[in-house]
Amino acid sequence: MEGFIEQVVKRKNGIKQLIIKIVSVVLLITIPTVCVLIAPIIKIAYMVYIGIFMFIGGIYIVWYIFTSQNVEYEYSVNGDELEIAKVISLRKRKRICKIPIREIEILGKGEKTVNGVRILKSFIAAQDLSADNDNYYAVFTSPAYGRTLLIFTPNEHILEGMKRYLNKDIVLKLFYNRNVG
């Protein structure tokens, strides 16, 4: 029986997102204010109107920037494929990667680095990258990118959906805590 399992994980905003928000608000206030203040200096009255219109347009732009910081990752296991998509503010969906689960060579929990493996591309779809205990990493070979690393935060349902298609050594190590030579 082919199953479909889905999980949505909301990304926690970090310092980068906070800086983007602060800079956008500062620019929203600064640019129109400068236009209004230089109008008497350069003796062009229309600069006041330009400043007002820039402020009104800037409100929309700042709203768009604020809402664009709301990112969710959607993990879905459909049969023997794992698909991960990035959903930005519920208005834009972009597929990050689609992996045949059988091609996953390494699947582990908690480590940020994979020793002894040369990675050419990495995809980060984790809820919080600094939370090592919740994150899993998967190494697979992609036809487009070569050796690829995926960092994600699946729940037990996603892992159970992947379990039947994973390599038996990975299943023994990850689910039954047995080290296989």
In a domain, 95, yes or no: no
In a domain, 84, yes or no: no
Query: Predicted confidence band at 170 (pLDDT cuts at 50, 70, 90)?
Result: confident
In a domain, 82, yes or no: no
Region for residue 146 given its phi and psi (left: phi exceeds 0; alpha: psi -120 to 50; beta: otherwise): left
Domain count, the chain: 1
In a domain, 37, yes or no: yes
In a domain, 166, yes or no: no
In a domain, 56, yes or no: yes
In a domain, 58, yes or no: yes
In a domain, 1, yes or no: no
Amino acid identity, residue 128?
D
Structure tokens given for 17: 């997102």
Residue 14 main-chain phi, psi, to 5 deg: -110, -160
What pLDDT does 3 receive?
77
Q: Is the pTM of this model over 0.85?
A: no
Q: Is the pLDDT of residue 57 over 80?
A: yes
| Beta strand residue intervals within 2-145, DSSP E | 4-10, 71-78, 81-88, 92-100, 104-109, 121-125, 136-142
Q: Is the pLDDT of residue 9 over 90?
A: yes
Structure tokens given for 93: 């969906």
Range of the domain at 53: 15-68
Residue with tokens 């050796």, as numbered in its chain: 147
How are the residues of the chain apportioned to helix, strand and coil, as percentages rounded to the nearest 5?
A: 40, 30, 30
